[in-house]
Chain A
């Protein structure tokens, strides 16, 4: 028998609660930015103090306009995760930047501050590859 359906909206609520947890805990020390292996690929970060970058990220988490360096950092985050062990407060900066990116993408309804790749063929392309390589029975039973 199927489980009872769960109420929708819990993921968005979790993201909001995580954002608040991070806002409460972050000291803007900038150790996460220093540890990031891809920050050198973002021109707006050049010469900017790491703590200043984090301050801009926290603005995004509050639903405010992000600074160019904060949006630049969010745009080059590839989830290396080196920031997680670098954080002296244990707040998980990877989660911080991921949520900032979600918010800057307009994912929670705010203004879109960074470009979002809108691939209208994404799922149809997946289905096409499945049709090319799986049998009808496999597609029926596995997808």
Chain B
């Protein structure tokens, strides 16, 4: 009988439909019965620090929904969701499931994953690391181990890990974000890396802008797994980001109409145009 899990992909990774689809494809190949769950209706509530009445209700709602799915294990993609669930939500509300992380799941199944990774991906990659979250899930050790299962991927050994647990947290500390960008670019050049590879989606969201401005190739680690599996994917977010102000043309009128052109221009386009801050801002 196959393992039955809830694959809790979270909220912000919905910018990267390709990442969600790749994860589900990998889970299917591993014979895992995964029920995807995410988006605002499954939000962990961590975005509501300033309103704990709302956060409380969201936490209770999400635990109840997971309990009702009747699966013993919730596998989170997002480190924020994972941390908030384990550190806060499960401490307050009775969860009839265990919470683990997608990296842990892949690492557990690495023996089955390895023979599926048949296509060589000749690339020297620098993993973008953070110091945080590793006390919960050892992503800085496990993701390189997973990448090394891919034929001809070389993972560069480098000790730098940015502050925080994911780039999203650095957004509130612009100086730290800027230092991270600069250091990452210096290391890519110093190691002559072919690409910078992220663990998490929000780091990917921030860093893939480097491909537009600096020409530095950036991938999420599941993109490399997909290539080695022979799985075709379309990384639309990166293409939109590279197009910047012309992203709407790539998306097309029909899809823009689904979200509303005015909303797209006001609430979506600004982040697609935004580029990593590498220089001191003009005073």
Contacts and interface: CB of A to CB of B under 8 A. Distances in A.
B132 interface: yes
A59 B163 CA distance: 26
Contacts of A82: 131
Nearest to A136: B258
B263 A124 contact: yes
B191 to A, nearest CB: 22
B96 interface: yes
B176 A10 contact: no
Interface in A49-86: 75-76, 78-82, 84-85
B50 A80 contact: no
A36 B49 CA distance: 21
Q: Would you call the interface of chain B mostly helix, strand, loop, or mixed? A: helix
Interface of A: 2-3, 5-6, 8-15, 37-38, 41, 75-76, 78-82, 84-85, 95, 101-102, 105-108, 112, 116-118, 121-134, 138-139, 141-143
Given A80-B132, A81-B132, A142-B39, A75 B96 contact: no
Nearest to A130: B14
A131 B251 CA distance: 11
Contacts of A101: 49
Interface of B: 9, 11-12, 14-18, 20, 36-43, 45, 47-53, 55-57, 59-60, 63-64, 67-68, 83, 87-89, 91-94, 96, 130-135, 163-165, 169-170, 172-173, 175-176, 236, 251, 255, 258-260, 263-264, 266-268
B49 to A, nearest CB: 5
Contact of A78 (B53, B92, B173, B258): B173
A126 B165 contact: no
Nearest to B135: A81
Given A10-B56, A108-B52, A131-B259, A78 B39 contact: no
A41 B175 contact: yes
A46 to B, nearest CB: 13
Contacts of A108: 52
**Which 4 residue pairs spanning A and B have beta carbons closest together?**
A133-B17, A78-B164, A143-B39, A78-B169
Nearest to A92: B87
A126 B12 contact: yes
A117 B175 CA distance: 18
Contact of B264 (A8, A116, A126, A128): A128
A122 B48 CA distance: 11
10 contacts: A11-B92, A78-B173, A78-B176, A81-B131, A107-B55, A122-B47, A127-B39, A132-B236, A133-B14, A134-B14
Nearest to B89: A11
